[in-house]
A and B are shown apart, each in its own frame.
Chain A
Amino acid sequence: MPPLLEVDDLHMHFFTRDGVVKAVDGVSFTLEHGQTLGVVGESGSGKSVTALSIMRLIPEPPGKVVKGDIRFKGESILAMSEREQRGLRGNRIAMIFQDPMTSLNPVHRVGRQIAEPLRLHKDMDRKAAWAAAVELLAEVGIPQARERARGYPHEFSGGMRQRAMIAMALACGPDILIADEPTTALDVTIQAQILELMQEIQQRTKSAIILITHDLGVVADMADNILVMYGGKAVEFGAADDVFYRPLHPYTWGLLESLPRHDVDDKGALSPIKGQPPSLINLPPGCSFAPRCAYATRSCGDEQAGLVEMEPGHFSSCRFAGDAGFLAQFENRSSYLSDYAQRDSQ
Chain B
Amino acid sequence: MTSLLRVDGLTKHFPVSHGVFSSRLGGSVKAVDGISFAIGRGETLGLVGESGCGKSTTGRCINRLHEPSSGSIEFDGTDVRRLRGRRLKAFRRDVQFIFQDPYASLNPRMTFGEIMAEPLVIHGIGSRRERQEQAKDMLKTVGLNPEHIHRYPHEFSGGQRQRVGIARALMLRPKMIICDEPVSALDVSIQAQIINLLEELQEEFGLTYLFIAHDLAVVRHICDRVAVMYLGKIVELGGWREVYNAPHHPYTQSLLSAVPVPDPEKQRQRARIILRGDVPSPVDPPSGCRFHTRCPIAQFPICREQEPPLEGKTGGQMAACHFAKPFPIPEDRMLGGE
Q: Identify the A interface with B (CB < 8 A).
A: 42-43, 157, 159-160, 187-193, 195-196, 214-221, 223, 240-241, 244-245, 254-256, 258-265, 267, 269-274, 276-277, 336, 339, 343
Contacts and interface: CB of A to CB of B under 8 A. Distances in A.
Contacts of A42: 187-190
B41 to A, nearest CB: 20
B335 interface: yes
B187 A271 contact: no
Contacts of A273: 189, 192
Interface of B: 50-51, 157, 159-160, 187-193, 195-196, 199, 214, 216-218, 220-222, 241, 254-255, 258-267, 272, 274-276, 278-279, 335-338
A220 B159 contact: no
A310 B191 CA distance: 31
Query: 3 closest A-B pairs (Cβ-Cβ)?
Result: A272-B192, A217-B260, A260-B221
B336 A270 contact: no
B192 A258 contact: yes
A273 B275 CA distance: 35
A272 B189 contact: yes
Contact of B264 (A188, A244, A269): A244
B261 A260 contact: no
Among A196, A221, A262, A343, residue most surrounded by chain B Cβ atoms (within 10 Å) = A262
B144 to A, nearest CB: 11
Nearest to B275: A189
Contacts of B196: 269-270, 272
Contact of B189 (A188, A254, A265): A254
A214 to B, nearest CB: 6
Instruction: Choose among A189, A263, A277, A339 the residue with the greatest number of B CB atoms under 10 Å from its CB.
Output: A189
A191 B279 CA distance: 13
9 contacts: A192-B260, A215-B260, A221-B267, A260-B220, A260-B221, A262-B262, A270-B192, A271-B192, A272-B193
B189 A43 contact: no
Contacts of B260: 192, 195, 215, 217-218, 220-221
Contacts of A256: 262
Given A43-B187, A196-B274, A240-B264, A188 B195 contact: no
